[in-house]
Structure 1
Amino acid sequence: MPTSDQVRLFCLDRDGVINKDVGVPGVVDVDDFELLPEAARAIRSLNDAGVSVCVVTNQTAVGKGLLPESTLNEVIHPAMRRMLHDEAGASIGSIFYAIKPRDVPCDRRKPAPGMLVEAMNEHGCMDVYYGCIMVGDTVTDMQAAARAGARRALVCTGHGEAMGAALAARNVELPCRISMRCDDPTMSFPDECFPMDVYASLGHCVDCVLAESSYQWSARAVYDSLTQ
């Protein structure tokens, strides 16, 4: 089981991290929900390591009237749980979601930290330095993590593919850490997002974090190999 100085909780964005991102307005039909490769296996690895897993996701299609909340809760998310279990025996805990559209003020919808704070309180992580990792594929995921005091992990799936391509063009190997905005090859993340660790996928992130000594970052900085 994780000790007081280790990661206790993985908060996962949904679209683009666990399942394929289908674009706006998101998954509104369960037939469009498709797990990304290795996602179920990665979550099972966290289960086996005793690390809690929850989902933190913006689902503004509900607030826009494009997806009934009952369908989200009674069809799509149960299907996700079933797929994860059937593929790898994986399970997730609570699912935190925000439904208000972007033009409606909300302290829960990412980039606001509300949902992450709820998750961290539920799992006793608020007073543990970097006891929670937020894994996401967007700027708003990283902003929410920063504002909640969680460790930031960007994956190069979904919207994160742009970061993966930019790093690959510079021959930067993953995993890597981007420490400040001037080192961001996409120049799309604000200062508050850094430091930010970058991984190829959820599976890659989980494998790396679980392999870390005492779950502490041990990889080189993003541009070390370019400046030596």
Structure 2
Amino acid sequence: MEDTRAALAAPVRPKRFLLRWFLWVTLGETAGFLAPAVVAVFVINPDAAGALAWLTVAGAAEGTAMGLAQAHVLKRTLPGLRVRSWTVRTAAGAALAWLIGLSPSTFAGQWQAWPPVLQFAVAVPAALLLLCSIGLAQWPELRRNLPNGGWWVAGSAVAWCVGLGVFFAVAPPLWQPGQPPTTVIAIGVAAAILMAAGMALVTGLVMGRLLAAKESA
């Protein structure tokens, strides 16, 4: 079975792979980000717990779109990749990332009362888990097909550092009180496209190197 899958795998052409990955993952992540963007503007309940729940679900939808896009590209070079497993894992990792990312603001009244040392002790591992959440969720499926897939977790974390850094550099300065919902969404989507592009570029470079290393092994 493994020999058959290896025979079906398309050879990795780094530039072509990177272009396909960049285009599909940028598109998938951008489309997926529409879910939390729309929820944030139109659907959120006024209570904080409701907002956290809604956006966590929307984050799972975002992860589903991105996971499908990634799997679409990976399936050509990793025929043994299970698309459903990869997609579900990506959705779960994205939901966890949203849950962790929103918790500080949602529960600010509680954690700000903690001693600074305790805040730091919780914040650092939480931030690391947020950045690694998607890569960690995907890794068990990836390692079935890619022996050196553990590096994907670190590469994915770096990619999300880049992507989130771009988003927060663009969107918050442009968002102003009193803007109509369509303007808020338009700014968010524009920033999301840039975020997705940055993330897709870095993850594409990382995945390309992992696939090339597998072929040369």
Greater Cα radius of gyration, structure 1 or 2 = 2
Q: Is TM > 0.5 for Structure 1 vs Structure 2? A: no
Give the number of the structure with larger relative contact order, counting CA–CA contacts within 8 Å between residues 6 or more apart: 2
TM-score, length of structure 1 as denominator length: 0.32
TM-score, length of structure 2 as denominator length: 0.33
